[in-house]
Amino acid sequence: MKKQQQLRPGSYQSGTGFIHRYQELVRKEMIPYQYDVLWDRIPGTEKSHVIANFQNTARLLKGEQPEEGFYGMVFQDSDLAKWIEAASFSLINHPDPELEKELDDVIRLIGEAQDTDGYLNTYFTLNGKEKRFKDLLEGHELYCSGHMMEAAAAFYQATGKDSLLKIMEQNVDCIYRHFIEEKAPGFPGHPEIELALLKLYHLTGNQKCLELAQHFINVRGVDTEFYRKEAEARDWSIWGNDPNNGEYQQSHMPVRKMKDAVGHSVRAVYLYTAMADLASLTGEAELLEACRALWDSIVNRRMYVTGAIGSTVIGEAFTVDYHLPNDTVYGETCASIGLMFFASRMLELDPDRRYADVMERAFYNTVLAGIQLDGRHFFYVNPLEAVPGVSGKAQTHLHSLIVRPSWYACACCPPNAARLIESIGMYAYGENETTGFCHLITEGKVTMENGLSFLCETEYPYGFQVTYRIEKGGKTLALRIPGWSRSWKAEKNGQALPQNLVKGYLYVETADGDEITLYLDDSIRRLYASSKVAADTGSACIQRGPLVYCLEGVDNGGDVLSLRLKENGAAKALPYDASLLSGIIPLELEGYVSAPQEELYSDRKPEQIPCLLHAIPYYAWSNRGENQMRVWIPEEK
């Protein structure tokens, strides 16, 4: 089969359903709100100062006195880059002259903050040019450049303007000169630029981008002592990171030898995404096998049922196989976004349902849970169990907040979620010369470069009939049948189609005017974890369609810790409630509530009183104040 590629930006337009609702939330709330945050215009919100950093850098480079020094995290520039990307994708979906002018203005400012040699980073320009590229372990210079490269690609695709693209091409020249021509040793402490360089290469064909991406991937972990030697060569540091912790920054071995997902989870999946993209370009078998082994490590031994990854706050990291605690999980929103990136690149190499199933799980559960329904509050950490008085309070749970803050000092997740949602069509659909691939079920209109165009009509993820109306056919349509759908059927123009799947996809030949309909399983399922996962022993998780459900205190008398599911008990989906949590289908489940017990320990088992449990989609939790919440629910006979 010919390799597929992501759908180009603008080829998908959401309709009126669930995805459209979220894209409207991004357009109307998240993008303007985040823009004001970057300008420090929101009272009572964590200070960003991103725009001020660029303004002060521009003053310095003009020979003027900056009003103040750098403020924020060393990677603060990347918040603006991701906002530019989100806003650019929004422009593709909804032209907006005012938003475009805001983009033009900040890009002009970015250009003013770029040094004459192409170097671009406000932290190091304001804090001393002599420190540039001297702390790759912590400095995030290449990470920030990578995000700005992605922003440049998105802005060009949205507007046809190459203003930011030219800035970043000069930055590529600067980095290429340092690492390739001058042969400076080293590789990024936080992977990101690798996938961004490949994205620019796909867009522009600039060979320097490809060569740099290959270089950073190929040299990573070859010299496992590099960061230690780098630290010994300078008498300063930014954070005091341990240069000997190779697993944390994925420098413990060459990438082609990696088999287990370790270390900082966002760094890991960003690297794996670039590895898969490069393998797709070169066809290299060894690199592809490493990607497959790492995928298997994540999804079969180190991933939560919500698609969250990163089991510990210590290093925001993977730990060991089957260690998946629910209350102290890290589960960073950015990590699940990165997992979606990795899944998308693996789908390009191999259209296999297992990649799209994980991409869907991560999106509908962890990624969306990272955003409050008002679009103005966000989770960095996504726990599967929360208890007021413990979560965010106990020393071991300080990271696990129970209410979403309005911003963060480290604000990587909010703009990351915004750019993903606005560009979701690129992940939902793919194509090659002969076939259009439907990886995710998203309502709206799709127009592919291979000539295929169609409308997808559905109430997914709450409705399970999906109709594809072919406007222009003559190509094959590959429809993913989700792995969770135990029963399904498909029709073409009213006639049943054979249930012949290839790696989970139904391949259907199309002609103009065809109507293809999928009927998926709407049943409520109970999922059980492997017995190797200690945290979930004796418990079940509820799922309907792609949505993982949870119990929240406000729906269950305040105390979900005393609730039990009745083994083999009845479960039913209640009618869609448009007034509840922006519109959901709640579930009602047979269960028990344990009678109160005053003693800390007792030799008397608490009485189990029959009751009904009320569950909501996990993504919608923590929208009604402080509540207990639990995803994995103990079962009782």
Residue 98: exposure state from Cβ atoms within 10 A (0-12, 13-18, ≥19):
exposed
CA distance 152 to 444: 26
CA distance 427 to 367: 14
Picking from 265, 550, 526, the residue whose alpha carbon sits closest to that of residue 385 is 550
- Name, in order, each residue with C-beta under 8 angstroms of 591's C-beta and a sequence gap of 6 or more: 563, 564, 565, 566, 569, 610, 611, 612, 613, 633, 636
CA distance 306 to 507: 29
CA distance 480 to 505: 4
CB 511 within 8 A of CB 473: yes
Main-chain dihedrals φ then ψ at residue 517, nearest 5 degrees: -125, 130
CB 94 within 8 A of CB 32: no
CB 440 within 8 A of CB 360: yes
Is 412 a catalytic site residue?
yes
Residue 567 half-sphere exposure toward CB, CA atoms < 13 A: 8
CA distance 411 to 442: 28
CA distance 434 to 428: 18
CB 388 within 8 A of CB 627: yes
CA distance 204 to 196: 12
CA distance 515 to 588: 35
CA distance 19 to 460: 9
Picking from 540, 550, 502, 546, the residue whose alpha carbon sits closest to that of residue 520 is 546
- Name, in order, each residue with C-beta under 8 angstroms of 481's C-beta and a sequence gap of 6 or more: 353, 488, 501, 504, 505, 506, 518, 520
CA distance 123 to 140: 10
CA distance 455 to 468: 6
Per annotation, catalytic residue among 138, 316, 360, 431: 316
- How far is C-alpha 156 from the chain's CA centre? 23
CA distance 203 to 150: 10
CA distance 438 to 430: 7
- How far is C-alpha 174 from the chain's CA centre? 29
User: What is the four-CA torsion angle of 331, 332, 337, 339, rounded to 10 degrees?
Assistant: -40
Radius of gyration of the chain (CA): 25
Using CA of residue 87, residue 92, residue 97, residue 100, what is the dihedral sign?
positive
Per annotation, catalytic residue among 144, 334, 412, 456: 412
CA distance 352 to 481: 11
Picking from 9, 196, 202, the residue whose alpha carbon sits closest to that of residue 87 is 9
CB 71 within 8 A of CB 52: yes
Look up residue 527 and give its DSSP letter.
Answer: E
Amino acid identity, position 498 = P
Is 141 a catalytic site residue?
no
CB 591 within 8 A of CB 566: yes
Mind telling me the catalytic residues? 316, 412
